[in-house]
Amino acid sequence: MQQLPTVTLNNIYYKQAHQIKISFKYNTTLIKILNKIPNATWSRTLKSWYIKNTSQNLHLLHKVLENKANIDDKNLSIQKHPEKRIRNLSDFNKNLLNNFYKYLKGKRYSKSTIDTYTLQIADFVEYYNTKLNLVTNKDVELFIEDIYIKRNYSISTQRQFISALKLFILYYPKLNINNLELARPKQSKKLPIVLS
């Protein structure tokens, strides 16, 4: 009797949302199954599939993979109300973010870039909130370490934040950040898997 492949499910924060990362050794049957799930997406960056972290999606994965794979989800935790996040922002900072959004629209960035950059800057503004005008270069480094590195965000997400912050500094020069030279982290150079 042929042994079933193992599918590992883990938490990951990617594309500005909590996701379920779906990992397994190359298997055409599993790929066909995941291709039929409307919300499941292949990521070249992650080198795996992912789907939004909800109890419904976890149930769906168990259902479609039943008798097709052994599911290892012992390290997975489901996010409760992942969409319901109320930011703790002053009225000034809410207005600042709304105007930054309009500034990006005026620069003709794509809708997805505007949304991503605004959300990332909202995280930054919320993190320092009332002390925003006192933020220094060192504080930016601490924010990246505390948020992006500790939470294991993808390199591409961190690179996006750095691009967003450079635009925000141009838009809001009252920040106490001078000659910000944040090197964008290099994409990891994994050798491609060659399939015979």
Q: What is the block-wise mean pLDDT of the chain (196 residues), using blocks of 10 residues?
A: 87 85 94 92 90 91 93 83 66 93 94 90 90 88 85 81 91 81 52 52
pLDDT of residue 104: 95
| Stretch(es) of the chain classified as CATH 1.10.150.130 | 91-171
pLDDT of residue 7: 95
| Burial grade of 167 (CB within 10 A; 0-12, 13-18, 19 or more) | middle
Q: How many CB atoms lie within 10 A of CB 157?
A: 17
pLDDT of residue 196: 45
pLDDT of residue 194: 56
What CATH class is the domain 91-171? mainly alpha
pLDDT of residue 112: 86
Q: Which sign does the torsion angle of CA 18, 19, 20, 22 carry?
A: negative
**Can you state the percent helix, strand and coil of the chain, rounding each to 5?**
45, 15, 40
pLDDT of residue 192: 52
pLDDT of residue 189: 47
